[in-house]
Amino acid sequence: MAETVTTDILIVGAGPVGLFGAYTAGFRGLSTVLVDALPQCGGQITALYPEKEIRDIAAVPGALGREVVAALKAQADAFEPVYLLGREAISLAHSPDGRPIVTLSDGTVVDAGAVIVTAGIGTFTPRTLPAGEEFLDRGLSYFVPDPQEHADRDVLVVGGGDSAVDWALALRKIARSVTLVHRRSAFRAHAASVRELHDSGVEIITDAQVESLYGNGVVQQAHVRIDGQSDPRVLPVDAVVAALGFISNLGPLTEWGMDLDRRTIVVDSRMQTTASRVYAAGDITSYTGKVRLMSVGFGEVATAVNNAAVSLDPTLSLFPGHSTDAG
């Protein structure tokens, strides 16, 4: 028989925003269950860039991704949330009294007073590098979970977004050399990061694409086709990091009866979706003027939790008070 777990708040997504939501719910005295398809907390940060420095959180000048996740989890754990990790939230139904009933991929049923979806970009898969896919995990990678693996290597980074530029900057400190190849002359990354890149000593090759990879068992060469040049440039490389972005997918969430805007969930000013007692916060949400920053997601999930609390008990105040008042 499938296990049934009863809780006040079910949070779907145990990334940074979900973890802060668990703290916020706990502060209000609400029991919380966090569900995530990944086997660990932290979402994209843990899966993709645990060693990347994060600098856009208020009062945190800079901290590694894993440090941010550890601090958020410690904050949440003060209120003893239940973690159901490595399982996907599949279906949503409602009980006769309106409580959301969510069934997970392992058959577990969560009976919640309210649901808050903080699933980031949903499930994500990397955009592949057309050339040299046969070298995947043999020099070619799409993630850098441990930068030290690239110590004293000649590393080629492919891409022009924030991830590509950030990894080029991070790896230049430990690699023998770092070269960045981007198919355009303009970068999508933050302007300050691009300025830092140009001053960093990283070799930058723009208006170019990786045509092919070569090697004996592991990658040893990259042939780069530069616009306007007849012959490709041959680069000796020990590692290729293809940071070309990700393809996101909301998966089963598309069947939950929520209004969607492409691959995001439409919410109102209370962070409520069009599904009864279902809220959403973080990158997965969409509304006019939306800014996708982790710090914005923290405010959104606090708004969602407090509005959910009032929906569960209309006698409660929307404003929970300050943590300094709690003693």
DSSP-derived secondary structure for 211-236: EEEE-SSS--EEEEEETT-SSPEEEE
H helical segments located in 28-173: 43-48, 65-77, 162-171
Look at residue 250 in the predicted model and tell me its pLDDT.
87
Say how far apart CA 207 and CA 189 lie, in whole Å: 16
**With 90 as the cut, is the pLDDT of residue 111 above it?**
yes
89 is in an annotated binding site: yes
Which domains are seen in the chain, by residue range? 4-124+246-325 (3.50.50.60), 128-242 (3.50.50.60)
Strand partners, 109: 4, 103
Say how far apart CA 36 and CA 43 lie, in whole Å: 8
> Which of 224, 159, 225 minimizes the C-alpha distance to 194?
159
CB 52 within 8 A of CB 170: yes
- 177-181 and 203-205 strand pairing: parallel
SS (HEC) of 302-323:
HHHHHHHHHHHCCCCCCCCCCH
Question: Cα–Cα–Cα angle for 181, 222, 141, nearest 5°?
Answer: 75
Residue of 74 and 62 predicted with greater confidence: 74
Summarize the confidence of residues 92-116 as an average pLDDT.
97
Say how far apart CA 206 and CA 185 lie, in whole Å: 5
Region label for 107, one of left (φ > 0), alpha (ψ between -120 and 50) or beta (otherwise) = left
Q: The pTM is what?
A: 0.79
**With 80 as the cut, is the pLDDT of residue 122 above it?**
no
Say how far apart CA 289 and CA 264 lie, in whole Å: 14
Summarize the confidence of residues 314-321 as an average pLDDT.
92
Residue of 326 and 103 predicted with greater confidence: 103
124 is in an annotated binding site: yes
Beta-carbon contacts of 92 under 8 Å, excluding residues fewer than 6 positions away, are 100, 101, 102, 115, 255, 256, 257, 275, 278
Rounded to whole angstroms, what are the CA distances from 70 to 19, 45, 206? 10, 11, 37
What integer best gives the mean pLDDT of the chain?
93
Structure tokens at 125: 């898969």
44 is in an annotated binding site: yes
36 is in an annotated binding site: yes
324 is in an annotated binding site: yes
Residue of 262 and 230 predicted with greater confidence: 230
SS3 at position 169: helix
DSSP for residue 249: E
146 is in an annotated binding site: no
DSSP for residue 82: E
SS3 at position 97: coil
260-297: per-residue pLDDT in tens?
Answer: 998 899 999 999 999 999 999 999 999 999 999 999 99
Summarize the confidence of residues 304-315 as an average pLDDT.
96
Whole-number CA gyration radius for the chain: 22
**With 60 as the cut, is the pLDDT of residue 327 above it?**
no
CB 9 within 8 A of CB 116: yes
CA terminus-to-terminus distance, the chain: 43
